[in-house]
Structure 1
Amino acid sequence: MKIIKGSANPKAEEKNFYQLSDFIYNLENPLFGKKENEKYIWTLFKKVKNNWKQVSGNIKYGEKVPYTFGEKVVGIPFKIEVHIERKNLFNKNEKVLAATLIVTPKTKNESTIGRVILLNREKANVNTAKFNESLTAEARTSNLVGKEITFYLWEEGATEYKKYQKPKTAQVDKYGIAKVKFILSDYATPQTWMSFFTGDDAVTKKFFVTASYQLKEVTNKTPVTVTDQQQPETKKKQSGPIEKLTEIVLIGVEKTAELFDDKTKTPTSIGKAAKQESPSNCVCKEQYKDLIWGGKVSCEFRKKVVQICAELWGESRKLEMANGLMAVMKVETWGSFKAHHREGFKSANDNSKDLTISSFHKDSGSKSSRAVGLIQFTQDALEGMNEFPKSTPATKGTQPRYDALNRLKLSYAQMGEIRQLDKVKKYFEPAKSKIKTPEDIYLHVFAPKGVGQKDDFLLYAKDTIEYKNNNSVDKDNNGIQRKEILARFYESKNEGIKNKTSNFSCGIDDKKDDIKATGIVTYHIYADGKIEKHIPKKIKSGYEQKYKYIFHDKENKEHEICIVDFIFANKRNNGITISSIPKGYTKTYSYPRGGNAQTAYVYPNGDICVEGTRYGFKKYPKGSGKVELVRMKDGLSYNNGNVKIYYSFKSSQRKYCNPESYAGLIGALATLGRADVLCTGMCFEDATSYPSVTHPNGDSADTAYYSALAVEQKKVNAFKHFNFKNIYRGKTGWYPNLIGTKYSKGHEDHLHAGDFDSNIVKTIKE
């Protein structure tokens, strides 16, 4: 057996040699080398419309031959074939194929990141740091002057998902160097926070940095080691873009699985942090109360939108233009206001972390791409923002290019709304001087040539693709004019006036962050819907893996509800139904008796398939990282004064859930105040949720229906009050009359309260 040795990605305009070699034995061995009277014939083929076409005039002979590819064929696949011509046993010439090799030339001027370094410039030993110090990252590049490099700082052991949070960008200077500075304390994992802030001075942590440009990534080889505890210094709060938060050392832990969430970039200070002068009421109440569609988004989202518009169009017009931008985003996302909203979908109820590049394929196949995000970013938009390179004759329409585009859109979908708003700003910046009105904001997204034009300006003439896609708005049957396109904008704007927010929760109020935890991490659940997680400086022995839950009634009287254990499990993606249990599993185990799940089958890649009693077989793929789960009480029966918190399990052994979701459930039960709540389960200890495929990881609570609409509506309202965002129900009888719910298949026998908003949980450390 022979092979062709040589580069599969040769540089254009350079001579590259290819040699025929035995797969195992060296050609120098006379037993396995070239035999007498053998002739090696090399033929080159070019891929043209999925077929191989021979390149004429390019026949070569010998064991080793050169090929030189031009810049014009960069990205086009070629096939090299070598035939051996020799005498057979009958002394007749025969020609036998010996080996093939597919090569795809690359440009000689390839843009590369050559080397990445991470160091502490404040110390003689640049590879060590204290917890409250800054690190400098540098990328040495080739052919990237003026381009933007993205840097990700991450701690050793971080999951792949966690590595790519809170990036910073820098432009490559004339010397080919891009440089950024990171505050260490902004990038540690929650586990590291717990180690440092519970006084474990022996902990040693290593930090790395990854530099990225157009899907090419390079990571530094020598880490910076952090070896001692340092209480971070609190700097004066800066006014400026949200991305400057990395320069403010304010320490907070959102939840164990996530240090900062994109929706809440305002961390909570720990212990005796510097006091801030706070108004008696939430500042949003005065500054953002008139923002249309404000009731559909978070406080941080509202502030970010107004801030962007102030920076683009001035302080005096910020609210006017922000209302225009909100109206646009409502139209483009069908009112979801989600970063992962995809073209062709009227909702965004899926989990962005479960998306893949194939999620952006249209029905036409893999050579397609759906728009995504708050303003539905398209390929043209991303190219105009220099986020995606323009095509060349060699790359246009190729599968690798579509894959790269969809990979970029996947990163947009998974970056969260707050970070994506920075991309929205970047889209508008080049045209900000041309955009004079809120209507122009809409036109710049939908039909840029209409910006600044009169109402009767013809945007799309008949018989154009754009006209066919929007012909429903042509009221006069004479082509689509600017005023006709704007009808949807005005409709969104008017509807948005009815959807201003009345719930102000920016966290700036006159309530002090008093620590109310002694020796155990405690969730404080308040009757008004607020939840706080209090973390003491020292945790008592035996309580390291436990949480306490306390409910505060309307008179702020405390009710200690329970103490539960918590564990960490591999995170699970949503499940899928399969026809049988695949072969290849490495171990099995049984689920507790009394539910529908029977046997788990575990595979080498971490996936789990489950066999049950009557719902067939389900597969729960292993997700990225770990999830924290509490072991729920088998039942609660708390009755004290005006507070009743009851539940019992019905035909389910799914008794694990997310700690924040459990706090939300307790709050909802207290709000409902009934003693007959039947819980049909959350998830199992391994984070699967058979027979449900929609709520692994314990983020959702299932409960049996009451027999009357009025009582069930009260339960729905209670879950809504405690920030369960999506309530799913069946379509039987009066179920469709439940206000604030959505129909979802498989919910005829139970109500599903899902997507608990962990952003409302405020963390306070001693």
Structure 2
Amino acid sequence: MSGWFGDLWDWGETKGTATKDKAPTVQKPEGRSPAMVKQRPQEKKETCVCKEQYKDLVWGGKVSCEFRKKVVQMAINLGLPQKNYEGANWLMTIMALESAYSFSPKCGTFGKNPDESSKYKYVGLIQFGKAAAEEVGTTRTHLISLTAEEQLDYVEKHFQLKQFKGLLNNRTALYLSVNYPSATKYASDKDHVVYDSTKDAYDDNPMFKRETHEFWIDKKGKKQYYTGKEGKSYVWEFEEALKEVEDLGKSNKTKTFTCENINKTNDKVNAKDVVTYHIYSGGKIEKHIPKKIKEGFEKKYKYVFHDSKGNEHEVCTADWHTTKEKGIGQVYKTKPTHSKVISDQNVSEGNTSRRVKYENGDIAEYGNHPKKGIIWLLYKAGKNNVELVKMPDSLNYSKDGILIAYNFSKTQRRYTGANSFAGFIGYLAKSGYKLTTTGSCFSEGSSFPSQEHCNGRSVDTLYLGVIEQDQKVIDNAMFFHFTEVLKGVNSYCEKLKRAGNGGTLHNSHLHSGNFDSSIIKIIKEQ
């Protein structure tokens, strides 16, 4: 695990890279992700707990209300200072630095090619390596499958390790336990050398080069760092750097409060015979569940869009089913043989030419990956069920100035998350363009050639080829709660703003992923 700072690097399908003694550098983030979440009902209370209690948490605008609440509780559990949420702010600062300000549970090098045998691949909120994951009783494969909120449980376990008992008395100690654990006990000694130029960590963590002989200012006024020269990184340099990150986090406090999206007994259900998603032009999404569902509609969802004039547009009704959740695809050169095979079929589904199903629920798919060539991807089955909807083969809804339209291109990945589909319809309507999609996932949650599209959490769309139009699509994908929107790196994509760096794989298409399902308000008929 290690911190970083400076210029953004190529993340590809996932983001980030770090090592226990090595780390790349990142730039300051542009914008922020929406913090739109639901909260458990509280007795006789309808206001947002974040607005009342956690509004001053640094970097709070990058995470959900649930995340903020768990961090505050973690600070209590760890015995950190509580006044003005000082300890919670330390934790937020450390996770901001380690995750390149993304707070993504998937950032790091591990997700690009998941391989548990590699010691030097890292993932998550504090960049867990192989050994660090094992120390808290898990694996990187499991960590990358979690939400940010779920991964916090393992972050807390790291800080609770016996080796840090009695040492986490300040912000620097907390950070050293992540960046360079052996130095944690020296966190109060400002002149202690954490590492010097004999260690790779010295050049790989330029944020902690703060002496005048360690950097220069270029013609553009940007700080540049010397490499290959003798030098030392002292505790005081870590202290200064962490203060800068925390100060930057003050301008990224949350301004959006939606955890008051709780069910109220006086909410009127606008659904008859079938569970209905109501998608509003302002970004709100509700799932209305009638008391009685009509026979034959038990496995169907209706999707209705509400325009800015209050008109309702019944877009479509889609079939849904449940399947075991699948982990991010792991690369194999030969067919995995870890479990009994129950079926092995040749298929013709875009890039996918073969599919193997195993007795334990895993699925392996074989075909031509656009970057890795001919490979297998193994999607391991989890314990939980996920709901997937069968997307209509095309949509061409047009009425009263509202266009909600798409068609598929060269793919059979025509399933997606039930909630994600509501967000997709929202940004199609808000954008007003007919888009071409290369799909989401297959019926059982696998998603070859993508490692990341499992469980229908991401949808790809081809670029329209007009900057203004593609920018509008990006903006509205984010507006409708897709928290991981990635573009390519060619000259055209460089003109697009706000979307993250998706590497060369995304030169041909936009990736809209990690829909924030927590913003959906569920209303049940009493």
TM-score (norm 2): 0.72
Match of 2:234 among 477, 481, 484: 481
Q: Equivalent residue for 2:62?
A: 296
SS at match of 1:519: coil
Give the alignment of 1:336-735 within 5 angstroms: 336-338=102-104, 345=108, 357-358=116-117, 361-362=119-120, 374-375=125-126, 405=135, 407-408=137-138, 410=140, 416-420=150-154, 422-423=156-157, 426=160, 430-431=165-166, 435=169, 438=171, 441-442=174-175, 447-453=183-189, 455=190, 457-460=191-194, 473=209, 475=211, 479-507=232-260, 513-575=267-329, 587=343, 595-597=350-352, 600-602=355-357, 606-610=362-366, 616=374, 618-625=376-383, 626-674=385-433, 676-735=434-493
**Superposed displacement of residue 699, structure 1:** 2.0
Give the alignment of 1:207-286 within 5 angstroms: 266-267=39-40, 276-279=44-47, 282-286=48-52
**Superposed displacement of residue 327, structure 1:** 1.6
Is the 2:114–2:330 Cα contact (8 Å) retained in structure 1?
Answer: no
CA distance in 1, matches of 2:88, 2:58: 8
Match of 1:329 among 87, 91, 95: 95
Which amino acid letter does the alignment assign opposite residue 473 of structure 1?
K
**Superposed displacement of residue 527, structure 1:** 1.9
C-alpha change, 1:375 and 1:531, in structure 2 (3 Å) is: same
C-alpha change, 1:412 and 1:590, in structure 2 (3 Å) is: closer
* Per-residue Cα deviation, 1:464-512 (whole angstroms, up to 9, x for no partner): 7698576862627785433222232123123223322222222268986
| CA RMSD, 1 decimal | 4.1
Count of aligned positions: 454
C-alpha change, 1:586 and 1:324, in structure 2 (3 Å) is: closer
Q: Equivalent residue for 2:500?
A: 741
Query: Higher Cα Rg: structure 1 or 2?
Result: 1
SS at match of 2:322: strand
C-alpha change, 1:277 and 1:760, in structure 2 (3 Å) is: closer
Which amino acid letter does the alignment assign opposite residue 531 of structure 1?
I
Is the 1:327–1:492 Cα contact (8 Å) retained in structure 2?
Answer: yes
CA distance in 2, matches of 1:715, 1:756: 15
Is the 1:612–1:690 Cα contact (8 Å) retained in structure 2?
Answer: no
CA distance in 2, matches of 1:724, 1:325: 25
Is the 2:271–2:290 Cα contact (8 Å) retained in structure 1?
Answer: yes
CA distance in 2, matches of 1:379, 1:752: 28
* Per-residue Cα deviation, 1:106-134 (whole angstroms, up to 9, x for no partner): xxxxxxxxxxxxxxxxxxxxxxxxxxxxx
Is the 2:145–2:327 Cα contact (8 Å) retained in structure 1?
Answer: no
SS at match of 1:689: coil
**Superposed displacement of residue 649, structure 1:** 2.0
CA distance in 2, matches of 1:407, 1:362: 18
CA distance in 2, matches of 1:721, 1:546: 26
**Superposed displacement of residue 573, structure 1:** 3.9
CA distance in 1, matches of 2:152, 2:369: 44
* Per-residue Cα deviation, 1:712-732 (whole angstroms, up to 9, x for no partner): 111111111112222233333
CA distance in 2, matches of 1:286, 1:588: 56
Is the 2:38–2:65 Cα contact (8 Å) retained in structure 1?
Answer: no
**Superposed displacement of residue 514, structure 1:** 3.3
**Superposed displacement of residue 749, structure 1:** 2.4
C-alpha change, 1:690 and 1:427, in structure 2 (3 Å) is: closer
CA distance in 2, matches of 1:556, 1:643: 12
* Per-residue Cα deviation, 1:660-717 (whole angstroms, up to 9, x for no partner): 111111011011022x311222223343434444323322212111111111111111
CA distance in 1, matches of 2:342, 2:258: 49
Is the 1:338–1:348 Cα contact (8 Å) retained in structure 2?
Answer: no
Give the alignment of 1:118-129 within 5 angstroms: none
C-alpha change, 1:531 and 1:587, in structure 2 (3 Å) is: same
Is the 1:309–1:318 Cα contact (8 Å) retained in structure 2?
Answer: no
CA distance in 1, matches of 2:201, 2:303: 58
SS at match of 1:498: helix
C-alpha change, 1:464 and 1:487, in structure 2 (3 Å) is: same
SS at match of 2:506: coil
Which amino acid letter does the alignment assign opposite residue 276 of structure 1?
K
**Superposed displacement of residue 336, structure 1:** 3.5
Is the 1:597–1:691 Cα contact (8 Å) retained in structure 2?
Answer: yes
Which amino acid letter does the alignment assign opposite residue 422 of structure 2?
A
Q: Equivalent residue for 2:25?
A: none
**Superposed displacement of residue 564, structure 1:** 1.0
* Per-residue Cα deviation, 1:285-304 (whole angstroms, up to 9, x for no partner): 34333322112211122233
Structure in which a larger fraction of residues adopt helix: 2
Q: Equivalent residue for 2:8?
A: none
Is the 1:628–1:659 Cα contact (8 Å) retained in structure 2?
Answer: yes
* Per-residue Cα deviation, 1:581-623 (whole angstroms, up to 9, x for no partner): 7899664556578x55455455556534345799756444442
Is the 1:307–1:318 Cα contact (8 Å) retained in structure 2?
Answer: no
CA distance in 2, matches of 1:461, 1:580: 42
C-alpha change, 1:647 and 1:624, in structure 2 (3 Å) is: same
SS at match of 1:727: strand
CA distance in 2, matches of 1:765, 1:630: 20
Which amino acid letter does the alignment assign opposite residue 760 of structure 1?
I
TM-score (norm 1): 0.51
CA distance in 2, matches of 1:613, 1:339: 24
Which amino acid letter does the alignment assign opposite residue 457 of structure 2?
D
**Superposed displacement of residue 547, structure 1:** 0.8
SS at match of 1:671: helix
CA distance in 1, matches of 2:305, 2:312: 6
C-alpha change, 1:314 and 1:556, in structure 2 (3 Å) is: farther
